[in-house]
Amino acid sequence: MNKINIVLTFFSFFLISSCGSFKPKYLNEKSESIPVIEGNLEKRFYLIGDAGAAETTDTNEALVIFEKFIEDKETSKDQLIYLGDNIYPRGLPKKDEKSRKEAEVRMDAQLRSAKKFKGTTVFIPGNHDWYAKDGLKGLKRQEEYVEEGLDDNEAFQPENGCPIEEIDISENIVLLILDTQWFISDWDKHPTINDECDIKSRSDFFLEIEGELKKNNEKTILIAMHHPAFTYGLHGGYFNFKKHLNPSSGKIPLPILGTLVTQIRSQGGVSPQDRYNVRYNELMKRLITLATDSDRVIFASGHEHALQYIENEGIKQIVSGSGAKEAPVNLGEGAHFVYGGRGFATLDVYDNGGSIVTFYAPDENNDPKLMFSKVVHEPRKNMILHF
């Protein structure tokens, strides 16, 4: 094979192996209805991620369909979770900074939707929420803004830039909120990062999670964290053809450089925010190992601007990160459903341990349309002992 052929083969292989698209894709046939679990609904979670990019005072499609969806529903016992990247691009700036107004508009759109929701709302941090010029102070500024906006001191978790918050949702359900950006961050850039926290090292972080998982082993444990353990979009190394030509989304396409950057990103190394970067990978490998010891753990994340449901390595992973933006995504290993358009997810957990995930996206009239639904955990079988 001559040199040109080798180069062409190299690029064709990676183009084919890494392509994603915006269209919905299904492992099996598209589900036309929501499965039924016999039992009492114990909690409904609404999951919306990366919703902090409304361009104007108008809200965006994902929030519009969320509001329409809850309009005629009794939501007072439900839980809404905004899964991070609540304000693009650099968190909540100080009051006198030029970009403050735009950041407020972006946050206010989400607060407006939360106010129409009658249940409890919690915002969790994503990487962009840490990107304010003064880092941790900016994150705390957002925390205060959310708490004031919703008149609820618990509406942003974990607090004070700390990494873990455990919330007992009900008798059989625990919500474990992790600040995965805390783990991934370069702590040299945030010298005061753990001053107000009990957990002061990454090893303590894992010990705490291990303890929580063991303590709540009989319950359904929803782990809400911005970064997904499994994802098949841009952060997971899956790119569509346009991205190969122009990986930085700039004005000038650079085809060869583009493919190289794409290839490096898919193997880890360019951005700390990509799944196979060293620190991110270390975090997820450990979390997956810890979680597989528990029977009813569910991961819920944003970060990737797509909707995905993945069952892999014993983990159930919901990705709902298209609260404002959209991006191509592929049907990778263990994926049951992926869609590169805007939308949100619900997770219904029953008192018998059963649970169902459902994804919604806007139809042509901007009404919520069912995209996919699946049983996440089957109900517990009642053991009848005969003597």
Binding site for Fe ion (CB under 5 A): 85, 126-127, 303
Q: Buried b vs exposed e over 36-65: b needs ≥16 C-beta within 10 Å?
A: ebeeeebbbbbbbbbbbbbeeeebbbbbbb
Taking the least distance from each CB to Fe ion, the nearer of 303 and 374 is 303
Q: Do residues 158 and 209 lie in contact, with contact meaning Cβ atoms separated by under 8 Å?
A: no
Residue 18: closest CA among 255, 330, 228: 330
Q: Name which of 230 and 350 has its Cβ closer to Fe ion.
A: 230
CB of 20 to Fe ion, least distance (A): 17
Q: Shortest gap between Cβ of 350 and Fe ion (angstroms)?
A: 31
Cis peptide before 158 (omega within 30 of 0): yes
Rounded to a whole number of angstroms, the minimum distance from the CB of residue 88 to Fe ion is 9
Instruction: Please give the helix or strand (H or E) that residue 44 lies within, else none.
Output: strand 41-48
| Cα 160 to Cα 134, 142, 146, 194, 245, distances in angstroms | 14, 10, 13, 9, 41
Whichever of 247 and 302 has its CB closer to Fe ion, that residue is 302
Work out how close the CB of 303 gets to Fe ion at its nearest, in angstroms, rounded to a whole number: 4
Give the tokens for residue 64: 């519009």
148 or 282: CB nearest Fe ion: 282
What are the residue ranges of helices labelled H in 25-135? 61-71, 100-116
Residue 117 to residue 132: CA distance in whole angstroms: 28
Minimum Å gap between C-beta 37 and Fe ion is 32
CB of 233 to Fe ion, least distance (A): 11
Residue 198 C-beta: closest distance to Fe ion, Å: 26
Nearer to Fe ion, 222 or 324 (CB): 324
Q: Which residue is nearest to Fe ion (CB)?
A: 303
Measure the CA–CA gap between 288 and 292, rounded to whole angstroms. 6
Q: Which of 119, 46, 122, 123 has the alpha carbon at shortest distance from 77?
A: 119
Q: Which is nearer to Fe ion, 176 or 327 (CB)?
A: 327
The helix-helix angle for 278-291 and 202-215 (nearest 10°) equals: 20
CA distance 386 to 158: 47
* 8 Å CB contact between 373 and 357: yes
Q: Which is nearer to Fe ion, 226 or 374 (CB)?
A: 226
Question: What are the structure tokens assigned to 292, written together?
Answer: 């597989």
Tokens, residue 341: 């358009």
Closer residue to Fe ion, CB minimum distance, 50 or 348 = 50
Minimum CB separation of residue 63 from Fe ion in Å reads: 18
